[in-house]
A and B are shown apart, each in its own frame.
Chain A
Amino acid sequence: MPGSALPIEPQRDIARARKIHSPAPASNGAGPAAESRADAPLVRLDHLDTLWFQVTGTICNLRCVHCFISCAPDNDSFEFLSLAEVEDWLRRSETWGVKEYYFTGGEPFMHPDLPAMLERTLERGPASVLTNGTLLPARALKPIARTARAASYSLEMRVSLDGPSPEMNDPIRGDGTFDRAMEGVRKLLEEGFLPIITATQVWEPERDEEVRQAFVARLRGLGYENPRLKILPSLRIGREADRVRPYTNEEHVTEAMMEGYDERQLLCASSRVVTNRGIYACPILIETPAARMGSTLEEASRPVRLDESACYTCWLHGAICSNYGGIGQDVS
């Protein structure tokens, strides 16, 4: 990892973190960064490879203690996108040559029009849905599975699960969520999906291999013989700043750190996120007013300033939100 040699002072500054990550933007306008850094580098949009849809805003049936955007059943600071809006963005994205589409929230399966949205999307390109797996009603899943089987593009289902057991997962995601998500995985398998199980590294890094093996064993128990598993670093903003610790003053990206660094590894070099309040630089930062890029793709194609602490985690690990990639592990 490029940043492993950097000195990091483990100090706590919760007040500052709360100041940066206020719960929701007060207005639609792009405001000034809460704490703009003079030495924060700019990242150019190399190409709009990926268009994300914040399809259910910040509305989620769960209230995970590590959520980086404080999603919850009662957080409607970002609202649902309509089917017509998604269709419009799909059309607009064509001339940009978008390669693939991601659907996130909140919980995408709370949207009644998700099946129709995925059908339209898969006519145009591959799609991924980031779900907590606890709400996969047959009335949504069956038509989605039919669409996926008929499409020439892949539909990836990514199920978030933060541990291979209720003991590890449920304190993070809520009581009973492990069993419900595993039931969701079982339903997805039954419909012919090969879900990517996405876990936030809420355990000590030394336990990675043990946790991986436990995941594999659990998933094989469901009949998922060769499970796809992705482990993500935690992002210490939103609720996660309180759960673990916020970023320290030293944990941010500087111009010097970009020397010799392939900035195309960063999500904001190839993606933008459509929300009901405009287009944002990345799915992590929608609660950061300065990350609002505008209301058209043209406006949103300007460079992104890496002045948020969460950018540091992305810098360390590279495109953490994509289907491929995540925390690598040296087993040699």
Chain B
Amino acid sequence: MSPEPRRIAVFGGVYSNHLALAAAIGDAAARGAETLYCLGDLGAFGPHPDRVFPLLIDHDVRVLRGNYDDSIARGLDDCQCGYTDPRDNYFARLSYRYTFRNTHERWRRWMGRLPGEIRLEANGARVLMCHGSPRRMNEFLWESATSTQFLTWLAREHEADIMLATHTGIPWQRSLPGGGLFANVGVLGRPANDGRTEVWYALLDFGADTGAQPNLEFVPVGYDHERLAGEMRDEELPEEFVETILTGWWTTCLEVLPARERARGRF
């Protein structure tokens, strides 16, 4: 039996950002992460979706299925983000069509086989990794719009002590009464609407003693974002997306942000 991992790295949505993914894999290895996880949304937004899959496989990243992967794998009409704002929808559809067109059939099949969640036990803690929330693949869990009592209910309902999710794009964590933890690990695909060009992932340390509180740290990763911007332009992806990569500010998919998170951004 393999020993329980003491330190793991957890990546959120990759959004076809193969350069950030490669950088994060290198960074996590350098920091001693024993196992790497990715919480889904492999495509979207960025260029050349097929470049992400070999990286994940070569580095033995354990991957679960996000809503984007689910849509592409099943050939759905959209990404299931549920936008209603016409501008958000316009960009979401454009991005979805590009990703669908450029994802090889074999990777679509591969994504279709990904699990919806990953569970592990580490140092006595039940860890549940999911995409949006433990109950719904496309649920947005924003820091300012998610009550602690709701997270406590989710943990109880889904029999977990530590819950890790992505889907929104902005990292945050909250300790729960009784020693639990929820974290949104952020995404590798685009910056966190914070005016920085780095992207974020989570490093989770399980203490040496059983029952010790795990420690979760968000790690910023720099990568060659100018090269990514060049690739996006070569692929004729929208200049609005390129701007986000170059400035760190979100320009699209803003409708779903609550007031607090929206106020921190530029748009």
Contacts and interface: CB of A to CB of B under 8 A. Distances in A.
Interface in B131-174: 135-136, 142-150, 152-154, 157
B93 A332 contact: yes
B31 interface: no
A323 B84 CA distance: 11
Interface stretch (A81-89, A111-119, A151-159, A162-170): A151-159
A96 B137 CA distance: 21
A125 B255 contact: no
A39 interface: no
Given A125-B147, A154-B144, A156-B258, A96 B84 contact: no
B267 to A, nearest CB: 5
Given A97-B152, A124-B149, A194-B262, A324 B84 contact: yes
B213 interface: no
A328 B262 contact: no
A126 B258 contact: yes
Q: Chain A binding site: helix, strand, loop or mixed by DSSP?
A: loop
Nearest to B87: A331
B211 interface: no
A212 interface: yes
A193 B259 contact: yes
Interface in A187-227: 192-194, 209, 212, 226
A153 B259 CA distance: 9
Contacts of B135: 47
Interface in B81-121: 82-87, 89-90, 93
Given A155-B259, A326-B84, 19 more contacts: A49-B150, A95-B149, A97-B149, A98-B149, A99-B145, A125-B149, A152-B143, A152-B144, A154-B258, A156-B259, A193-B259, A212-B86, A229-B85, A324-B84, A324-B255, A328-B83, A328-B84, A331-B89, A332-B89
A313 B235 CA distance: 41
Interface string B250-263: 00001110111111
A271 B158 CA distance: 21
Contacts of A329: 84, 86, 89
Nearest to A318: B82
B184 to A, nearest CB: 15
Contacts of A194: 259, 262-263
Given A153-B145, A154-B145, A326-B84, A97 B153 contact: yes
A228 B89 CA distance: 15
Nearest to B174: A152
Interface of A: 47, 49, 93-100, 124-126, 152-156, 192-194, 209, 212, 226, 228-229, 264, 323-332
A328 B154 contact: no
Given A94-B149, A124-B149, A331-B86, A324 B256 contact: yes
A156 to B, nearest CB: 5
A97 B145 contact: no
Contacts of B255: 228, 324
Contacts of A326: 84
8 nearest A-B residue pairs (beta carbon): A97-B153, A125-B147, A99-B150, A154-B144, A154-B258, A328-B84, A329-B86, A154-B259
A30 B150 CA distance: 30
Nearest to A212: B86
A223 to B, nearest CB: 14
A265 B104 CA distance: 32
Nearest to A126: B145
B148 to A, nearest CB: 8
